[in-house]
Amino acid sequence: MKSLRMLLALVLAVSVLNSGYPAAAAPVSGVKARPNDGSGYWPDFSNTGYSHTPANAGGLGLGSYPGKLTDYAKNMSATKPMRLTFPDNSVISFKRFLSLKVAIYGDNLTFVGCLFEGTNPNDNLIQIYSKSKIKFLYSTFKPNTLTRPPGNDGTVSSAHSKPGTPFAKSWQAVTTMTESVAVMDHNDIWGNAGMMMVTGFPGRPSTWTNNYIHDQADTAHDVYHHDGIGPQSEGNGGPMKIDHNTLASLGNTNALALQGDGVYDHISFTNNYVSGWGYAVSIGTKNNATNITVTGNVFSAELKQLWGFLYGNIWGGKSRGSTWRRNVLQVRAGDGNTTYSPADNGKYLWPTGAPAKTTDYTG
């Protein structure tokens, strides 16, 4: 019997490791956990960013975070721009980049365990000129004058009160300047306005997994659009894979900011923790999206929200090949979003909005 128990324990451990989720999170369901609650279930300060880079991140054979970063260049300054040019297919690891604006050249580059910091209000901190693809794994993007987001003591997903990072100390965006598709995994991103990267192209999806996107800047004065992934304002975007991210902040617009009136197609938004924003998720401004998958997400009332979880009830709809399933509410006493009460905890969120439902959406 002892041998059988050991075998079963080994099988369970292997299955957890192969799942892509932290071993510590296995007993905890998504609706019971919150970022920075010690469970490690959601992306948060404990498992994203350069200091948490594990060995063999991205399957590249690198070691884990060595305990400190190396400055990319001498005399770097938040008041000076920087141009980075690397041979195609380069891997850049455990480097610190401090700049007014970083322009990145070279295709199929991979940044692992890096820190990008600066102060560039109302402009890009990073501009990407890769031709087809770029990856950021276990990297941190933040204002250079702050070590922790104002109002976030590491026990909440994002600050519960304004203003967050002041405008003068913030940075605006990371932006693709070409048709380069980004792969973003286990990054810690805060103190900014958004991540303005292309949504992807047929056969080349943009991919966002296990990222901690939180604490947007200047939430008191609304100088910025406060967007998590986005904004993408043109429409005609996709494909995208957005899976198992924390997207939490006070703000006036969207965690997923697909804000155009063209057709968004093959967007997969799954297994994410979403809290705050204006309308938390926007999938277009016209009801013409196609092949949209919104499943397994936890929509949390933790943070105050201006309007609702889904802009315009737009998500494609069954007739356009889209699916909305297993999206649940997380509500606790004292939460900032007072549209729902603790009695709604664990109930289903329908794309039609409030009230909470005891059965899943089937439309």
C-alpha distance across the termini of the chain, in Å = 48
Give residue-wise pLDDT tens across range 223-277. 999 999 999 998 899 999 999 999 999 999 999 999 999 999 999 999 999 999 9
Confidence band for 154, pLDDT divided at 50, 70 and 90: very high
| Virtual torsion, Cα 348, 351, 355, 361, nearest 10 deg | -40
DSSP 48-79: -SGGGPPTTGGGS---S--SS-EESSTT-BTT
- Per DSSP, the three-state class of 13 is helix
- Per DSSP, the three-state class of 296 is coil
Q: Which residues share a beta bridge with 205?
A: 200
Give residue-wise pLDDT tens across range 161-190. 999 999 999 999 999 999 999 999 999 999
Please report, for residues 82, 95, 122, 147, the alpha-carbon distance to residue 70 in angstroms, rounded to integers and kept in the order given.
Answer: 16, 5, 28, 17
The one-character DSSP state at 20 is T
Q: Is the pLDDT of residue 8 over 50?
A: no
CA nearest 165: which of 191, 142, 190? 191
Give residue-wise pLDDT tens across range 307-344. 999 999 999 999 999 999 999 999 999 999 999 999 99
Residues 251 and 304: beta-carbon distance below 8 Å: no
Predicted model pTM = 0.93
**What integer is the mean pLDDT of 34-40?**
97
